[in-house]
Structure 1
Amino acid sequence: MKLGSMAWRIPLGILGGGLGLWAFPTENFWIIAPLIPAVILIATLGLGFWKATLVGFIAGQAFYISHIEWISLYLGPVPLIGLSTLCSIPFALGSGLTAWLHARKRPKGLGVIRFAFAAAGIWTLKEWVANNFPYGGFPWSRLAMTQSDSFFANWVYWGGLSLLSFVIALLGSLIALAILNGKKLKSRGRLAMVGVVGLSVLVPLITPIGITTQAAGTLKVAAVQGNANAGLFSNLERGTILQNHLDATELVFKNFPDEKIDLLVWPENASDLDPSRSEFARDKISELADRIDAPFVFGTITQRGGESFNSTILWEPGIGPTDFYDKQVPVPFAEYVPDREFWRALAPDLVDLVPGGFSFGTRDGIFEISQGFVGSLICFEIAEDSIPRTLTAQGARLILSQTNNADFGYSDETFQQAAIARLRAIETGRTVVNISTVGLSVIYLPDGKILDELTWYTPAVMVQDVPLYDGLTPATTVGLWFDLLNALLVALSVGAGFARVRKR
């Protein structure tokens, strides 16, 4: 079989991308995650730039469609294919660039290790590009997400999700190069490979989680899952979702009558009536805050100055609303439509499903209560690197991740979002309260362990003494610099490749 034959490379690329179906939650076979970049590398190395780009594009489509099929649950295949196509462009270019770099100088000896690092860097860079462009990108589908249940997750403590993706891509690159080079590898190269793999495994196993953070007491948190039909296309009578959460909160008084609650938390969109515009909602929320006798944080849709916001409100007993946070990164094509006229010309029925759209928030998500600062973020913002890190740097001792998963049910989306929340807990050194309208509602400790979890699609509450923490982890101080350094190293590798071309 010819080395350049596309007849076996394209199916192999599809296989490599399709492994995402089993590597990502819910299947969550984390141990096979390195095989994704490994198989795609085997399918593309030996090809020229454009052929490798083509194989990489097809592999990218298989990769994204296999594990984000939940996007098509309510809107059909068009948004799924559109998103997978956009994300597959940097995926494809990364594959082409890696193959081009390999062809400039076939790695031998220790050069195999250098190329493996370059390939891992390119993979991590193409993740960063897809996560940021266009329209803020799609901050999902990172190799790091496959590792929330594995010991490799501790890598995020040192450098965030990008570092963990880099490590998994590095292991995959080494697997591919070991297969392709086979007996050509000399003892020094094999020894170096074993050393890199050993360090990749050893570092997370011996990571002393918490050495740079300090315990700062506990907070008695009551987090309420209202089991509300709060989906995008739900057509309930106004006030129904608010009533769901009021009814579920009664479980706090019924099941924990002797507990002194320090903070009551409802999820995103928990009140379908804005208390600033609805006297009914204002009276009900004020009454509940006075009964619980504690600060109360809940999600609702607000309007100010002719704009709409996806908001979280801090409500103090006996006072009322004292602070609020507006979602800083609304989801494009779900919570707003960028370049509406252009996209409406292509898919008017789909674009018209989002008639208005939310504006971008500009306030921080820091709420001050008697026990210190609490950080709030909304739904998919848990996947944005900058937001949890910023909350931690601003002094948040606890992170509230309020979400509405009613549109996604038991699909992979909910498990994938929870996986990110667990990784964020390790990364930031903070307890993360992931509270949903329907599930998955869970409290993650800074070592990734579960403090409490609720049964799906039931009205339920979590009442726990939640640990608070001060201090910063290495990831919250150097995480941003890792992405910058990685991009610089990729640029240097590509520059060296061009230099070899000119020399020849």
Structure 2
Amino acid sequence: MKTLDHWPVSPWRRSAVAVLAGALPVLAFPGPALWWWAWFALVPWILLARSAPSGKRAAYDGWCGGFGFVLAMHHWLLPNLHVFTFVIAALLGALWVPWGWLVRRMLGGAPSAGRAAAALVVLPSGWLLAELVRSWQGLGGPWGMLGASQWQVAPALRLASVGGVWLLSFLVVAVNVAVAVLVAVRRARVPALAGLLATAAATSAAWVWSPRPDTDERVAIGVVQPGIVAGAGSADRRFDREERLTRRLADRDLDLIVWGESSVGFDLDDRPDLARRLAALSRETGADLLVNVDARRSGRPGIYKSSVLVGPEGPTGDRYDKMRLVPFGEYVPFRSLLGWATSVGKAAGEDRRRGSEQVVMEAGDGLRIGPMVCFESAFPDMSRRLAADGAEVLLAQSSTSTFQHTWAPEQHASLAALRAAETGRPMVHATLTGVSAVYDANGARIGSWLGTGASEARVYEIPLAHGTTPYVRYGDWAVHAALLTLAAWAAAEGVRTGRLRRSGPARPEPPARTAHGSPARPGR
């Protein structure tokens, strides 16, 4: 009976299988949200790369699997970017080329128990390297990191407070590697089981020993979600609807009211009438408003997306300009080279302008808030910086109305749970058209989501938390440990290769020659 290692498969069919294998983890994310699936979803991909006939083919399996992973995770971009979605998936998929090669190097053939045990650490480290590179904002940012699939699992959220989403990704990959070894490498089943037990022990230890946020007072924050407003004059009509919804929050003893991304389509210096209406809402509700202005700024070139705090007397002067922009959605990277993307999809016709620094604002009676705008809630370092700077509540103003009937709104809303757990600070994710969500300092959901069909104003009672999580204190130590692991492995492999070359078989001596100079024949 032929095993997977020897089954004849055409290169094209193998590539198609690799693409499908790479796409499997998407089922662990919202919308399906089968979180448990993440702990097994990489096994087919690992077994395929392990069985590659050469390192080059394994690297190609890594590329094809990476293409499938990125395309599946971002499939909702297809109506907007069209064929360019495939180009992006192919470029980012190349980040898994080293990982595919590494899988075969560690698990190919009949690996020893020691090598299989090392794979439980080396392969997750290689995966984190790919996630680290693609987390750069210019390559699309850390959307769809494997650990983010565990956003609703309480023990995983506790681990996130220790090592961030990076630690979760590492552990998820380690479990997948252990399962693959149990399936395919009989001689290494003992270290694979030991790895699974070690993962369970680490999770249990984090559950018991990691510090929990100390909570005391509560604040009341209102979230205003106007819903879909389309057609001519939509900016004015959206403002009118947000105004009506906000008035419903009067007499609720609120500490803050949050509107979504692009909730105000005009610069407030150019439209003092809107600034006066916002100030009147603040007086009527007794709370400051955090709105988001998406407009050309008076006296400065270009369009900014800005979180603006408005009090009873008008804008307070607290403003945060979005720093990390969505590639192709808000700017086109290397526009001189990739500007053609605007002709095949709905890429940004004009680049938005960037802010220069993060801001912690003080609202109402001293509530310190840390605003982010949309895409920025995917970046662990931004929420970590705000928490370290003293923010008591994290806020993300977002709009995914372009992708209203896809998995994008749910995926985006789930990220706030991780940011809350990592920082030990509650987080509010307020959108124009859903999904809006609020999480406490442990990453647990407060109340219910405001879905994509809602046009509503809702109040959330949020317990404030104090203290510092290990992740805020020590940062991305899991990434640094992974890089050190890869460096140590590469050094050990180099030493091992050098020893093998020095101790290789000696060259055979030339055959003895006859008196006439011709080689002697055996038996003569």
| AA at the equivalent of 1:195 | L
Counterpart contact for 2:282–2:312, Cα < 8 Å: yes
Q: State whether structure 2 residue 485 is matched by structure 1 residue 489.
A: yes
User: Could you say what secondary structure the match of 2:392 adopts?
Assistant: strand
CA distance in 2, matches of 1:194, 1:459: 46
Is 1:202 aligned to residue 197 of structure 2?
no
Residue of structure 2 aligned with 1:269, choices 262, 283, 286: 262
Alignment partner of 1:41 out of 40, 46, 57: 46
User: What does residue range 90-239 of structure 1 map to in structure 2 within 5 Å?
Assistant: 90-102=95-107, 107-132=111-136, 135-150=138-153, 151-182=155-186, 184-185=187-188, 187=190, 189=191, 192-203=194-205, 206-207=207-208, 210-211=211-212, 213-229=213-229, 235-239=232-236
What does 1:231-250 align with in structure 2 at a 5 Å threshold?
Answer: 235-250=232-247
Cα offset for 1:396? Answer: 0.4
Give the Cα separation in 2 of the matches to 1:356 and 1:374: 30
How far apart in 2 are the matches of 1:237 and 1:339? 31
Partner of 1:427: 422
Letter in 2 for 1:242: F
Give the direction of change, closer, same or farther, for the CA distance of 1:449–1:217 in structure 2 (3 Å limit): same
Partner residue, 2:495: 499
The secondary structure found in structure 1 opposite 2:224 is strand
Which region of structure 1 is more displaced relative to structure 2, 285-294 or 431-440? Answer: 285-294
What SS class does the counterpart of residue 503 from structure 1 fall into?
Answer: helix
Supply the distance in 1 between the matched residues of 2:196 and 2:347 (Cα, whole angstroms). Answer: 53
User: Distance between the aligned counterparts of 1:190 and 1:469, measured in 2?
Assistant: 39
Q: Residue 294 of structure 2: which of 295, 301, 308 is its match? A: 301
Shift of 1:191: 5.2
1:289-344 Cα offsets, whole Å, 9 max, x none, are 22223221111124252132111001121253321000110112111122111112
Q: Distance in 2 between matches of 1:22 and 1:352?
A: 27
In the alignment, is residue 347 of structure 1 matched against residue 366 of structure 2? no
Q: Distance in 2 between matches of 1:12 and 1:333?
A: 30
**Counterpart Cα distance in 1 of 2:193 and 2:343:** 59
The residue type equivalent to 2:217 in the other structure is: G
Q: Does residue 476 of the first structure (1) align with residue 480 of the second (2)?
A: no
Deviation track 1:461-500 (CA, whole Å, cap 9, x = no partner) reads 2213321222211111223232122112112212222332
Compare 323-332 and 462-471 and name the one that shifted more: 462-471
The AA in structure 2 aligned to 1:165 is: S
- TM-score, scaled to structure 1: 0.90
Coordinate RMSD, CA, aligned: 2.3
1: CA distance between counterparts of 2:345 and 2:28? 32
State the alpha-carbon separation in 2 of the partners of residues 495 and 428 from structure 1. Answer: 35
Check the 8 A contact 2:221/2:460 in 1, yes or no.
yes
| 1:438 aligned residue | 433
Tell whether 2:393 aligns with 1:401: no
Q: Is the 8 A contact 2:262 2:399 kept in 1?
A: yes
Alignment partner, residue 55 of structure 1: 61
Does residue 467 (structure 1) correspond to residue 463 (structure 2)? The answer is: yes
SS at match of 2:369: strand
CA distance in 1, matches of 2:293, 2:271: 12
Aligned length: 489
- TM-aligned CA deviation for residue 371 of structure 1: 2.9
Cα distance, 1:348 vs structure 2: 4.8
Q: Distance in 2 between matches of 1:19 and 1:298?
A: 39
The secondary structure found in structure 2 opposite 1:461 is strand
Contact 1:248 1:461 in 2 (8 A): yes
Q: Structure 2 vs 1, CA of residues 324 and 31 (structure 1 numbering), >3 Å: closer, same or farther?
A: same
What is the CA distance between 1:401 and its match in structure 2? 1.2
Cα offset, 1:224, TM superposition: 0.9
Residue among 276, 285, 298 paired with 1:283: 276
Post-superposition offset of 1:177: 1.2
Distance 2:117 2:483 in 1: 18
Greater C-alpha radius of gyration = 2
Aligned residue number for residue 35 of structure 2:
30
Which amino acid in structure 1 is aligned with residue 435 of structure 2? Answer: L
Alignment-mate amino acid for residue 248 of structure 2: L
Instruction: Deviation per CA, 1:347-382: give whole Å up to 9, x if none.
Output: 351478522221111132310132341111111101
Describe the superposition over 1:146-177 as per-residue Cα deviations: whole angstroms up to 9, x where unpaired. Answer: 11122433321110001100000000011111
8 Å Cα contact 1:402/1:436 also seen in 2 = yes
| CA gap 1:459/1:98 in 2 versus in 1, 3 angstroms | same
Q: Which amino acid aligns with 1:70?
A: W
**Equivalent residue of 1:300, what SS?**
strand
Instruction: For residue 252 of structure 1, give the secondary structure of its aligned residue in structure 2.
Output: coil
Deviation at 1:126, TM superposition (A): 0.7
- Which residue matches 1:70? 76
User: Percentage identity across aligned positions?
Assistant: 22
Residue segments in structure 2 that go unaligned for 5+ positions in a row: 501-524
Which residue number in structure 2 is paired with residue 451 of structure 1? 446
SS in 1 for 2:452: coil
Q: CA deviation at 1:60?
A: 1.6
- Aligned partner of 1:355: which letter? G
Q: 1:498, 1:100 → 2: CA distance?
A: 13
Q: Name the SS for the 2:310 alignment partner.
A: strand
SS at match of 2:214: strand
Cα offset for 1:421?
0.9
Unaligned runs of 5+ in 1: none
Contact 1:167–1:200 (CA<8 Å) still a contact in 2? no
Cα distance in 1 for residues equivalent to 2:232 and 2:344: 18
Q: CA deviation at 1:402?
A: 1.0
Alignment partners' CA distance in 2, 1:235 and 1:160:
44
| 1:79 to 1:470, Cα distance in 2 relative to 1, 3 A | farther
Alignment of 1:74-85 (within 5 A): 75-85=80-90
For 1:168 and 1:388, locate their aligned partners in 2 and report how far apart those are by CA, in whole Å: 23
Equivalent-residue separation in structure 1 for 2:439 and 2:495 (angstroms) = 49
What is the rounded CA distance, in whole Å, between the counterparts of 1:402 and 1:352 in structure 2?
A: 22
CA contact (8 A) 1:132 1:139 kept: yes
Q: Distance in 2 between matches of 1:109 and 1:470?
A: 46
1:238 Cα deviation from its structure 2 partner: 4.0
Instruction: Name the CA shift for 1:207/1:128 in 2 (closer, same or farther; >3 Å).
Output: farther
